[in-house]
Amino acid sequence: MPTAVRRVPGRLSAPSPGWTTQADVVIVGSGIAGLTTALRLNAADNGVGKILVITKDRLAAGSTQWAQGGIAAALGPGDSPEEHAIDTLVAGAGVCDEEAVRVLVDEGPDAVRELIALGANFDHDVHGEISLTREGGHHRDRIAHAGGDATGAEIQRALIAAVGAAPEIEIIKRALAVDLLLTDPVEGDGGVAGVTVHVMGEGQRDGVGAVLCRALVLASGGLGQVFSQTTNPAVSTGDGMALALRAGATLRDLEFVQFHPTVMYLGADSMGQQPLISEAVRGEGAFLVDFDGDRFMQGVHELADLAPRDVVAKAIMRRMLDTGRPHMWLDARHLGAEFWERRFPTILGVCRTHGIDPTTQLIPVAPACHYASGGVRTDLHGRSDVPGLYATGEVACSGVHGANRLASNSLLEGLVYSRRIAQVLPGELRGWSDPAPDTRTAGLVPGDARPELQEVMTSRVGVLRNAAGLEEASSMLDKIGSRSAEGVDLAAWETTNLLTVAEALTEAARGREETRGSHWRDDFPERDDVTWAGHFDTVMSDGVAEVSFVAAPASDGGPG
């Protein structure tokens, strides 16, 4: 693919900082990745100094809180990290980093046990062992869950309680990380010197300020709000990815956006966060049917309704396109009311809120944006290519997920790789440096352009893609990018971040002329390992973003 070049703001327009503070390490994000990093850095006498967590809303507003199914790890009898690795690699469709996967599955069981020791209460069976279930793409029961279908909420509760018991960790809530402050690339290393922050209603720190720091860890989540319908919360506007890109970090594999196959269909006009119907429901025996009652996953994949998510999402979309229907159905009536109330109380309540009783009725489902497998490119310890900048969780591309994340590997990745950052960061803390003058070209697009941007991405860069639609999307995003915001506010900052990641995502999707994992091109329906075994990387210099293909090393066919 020839390099695709896009022009987007090199930094966000913002007033001069009205206040300044400092912390040795700043962590952006308060989900499993961010709080695990904070707790691990704070746990040992490692000389790190002051730790500051910045969260865009309240501590529990991110994606961790909404995780239903559970956390995957080889904890059960007969299971092994090797089998977990095989399932992960198969789901990743040939572009996983095998070493990163090995780290995940080998360190995962101990990381989960440590989470339990911290206070997370997982469900247990009648023998007192951790209760394990199965989800799509797994050949073993290895999904640990809590509260039936409230795993993320329980993990978030335990982490918040632990942070609350660690007064050394400072928290700034309702704060958007705007842009990195960087050292001089000539006199210094061009690395992290701080971050500008917009705080919304926190007393003396209200408005735009600057936090000087020696290292910054991005744990800010994904980009789900780039699409009209998503399972992601409202805070998931790609802020961390856009901030990192503007600072010189590489974004990798943005075209691999996972669309969860079973999101409750609320109608064509429903926008924003949609109710997720966990894959664990199918793991317990629910199955998909069309409007004629046919179980259309039979014969599509050896695991049928428990095939990897990309396979199920594509099968649902194919049946929707073939029949002209806006959704398919999930049949879980046979599980019974008692089972539903015990195993899936949260999903049951949500369904009933929307007028569906899954104990007696079919649930309408359709794919919706769920998870970004790509993000800030990192090594095995979360380092980006900007000195002093680390990334973990959904904002990062560690290489674990490849082209399609295996179910319930996301919480595990945030846990394992945050621990690994905490292992190395204390020994890599840089000295204090003054930020260099920021000469990057500033800009903002209007906040009210968000619905139009989301419609463009949903209709042309969603589950099903082709050259014509992607070219139209590219042109339409250009037009959105040509508009200038009249004011500087949160809506304009978020929409500009969404535009930045949307343009990079679209260009990577245009370039990858094959179907692989969660990237589905109907004009190139086959996977092509001869041409496309590799990654699309996006880098930026002063507002000029370049998207180019990095081929896999010929030696092993693995990731680049």
Task: Tell me the C-alpha distance between 503 and 543, whole Å.
Answer: 12
For the chain, give the number of residues.
Answer: 560
**CB distance 268 to 381 below 8 Å:** no
Catalytic hit among 134, 140, 174, 309: 309
- CA–CA separation, 154 and 60 (whole Å): 11
| Cβ burial, residue 203 (10 Å; 0-12/13-18/19+) | exposed
Q: Comparing C-alpha atoms, which of 400, 406, 27 is closest to residue 192?
A: 27
Q: How far is CA 160 from the centre of its chain?
A: 20
Confirm whether 309 is a catalytic residue: yes
What are the tokens at 91? 């789901």
What does the block give as tokens for 430? Answer: 């840089």
What is the C-alpha separation between 131 and 69, in angstroms, rounded?
A: 12
- CB-based contact 269:250 (threshold 8 Å): no
Contact criterion met (CB below 8 Å) for 440 and 543: yes
Spatial neighbors of 65 by CB under 8 A, at least 6 apart, are 31, 152, 153, 156, 233
Candidates 539, 513, 495; CA nearest to 252 is: 539
Angle between helices 151-164 and 98-118 (to 10 degrees): 70
Bridging pattern class, strands 389-391 and 215-218? parallel
Closest alpha carbon to 218 in 198, 245, 200, 199: 245
**Residue of 365, 213, 183, 218 whose CA lies nearest to 281:** 365
Q: Which runs of consecutive H residues, i.e. helices, occur in 197-274?
A: 239-247
Both tokens of 7, joined, read 């022009």
The Cα–Cα gap between 442 and 13 comes to 5
Contact at 8 Å (CB) between 228 and 454?
A: yes
3-state SS string over 35-66?
A: HHHHHHHHHCCCCCCCEEEECCCCCCCCCHHH
Q: Which two tokens stand for residue 294?
A: 């046919």
- DSSP character for 31? S
Task: Cite the active site residues.
Answer: 309
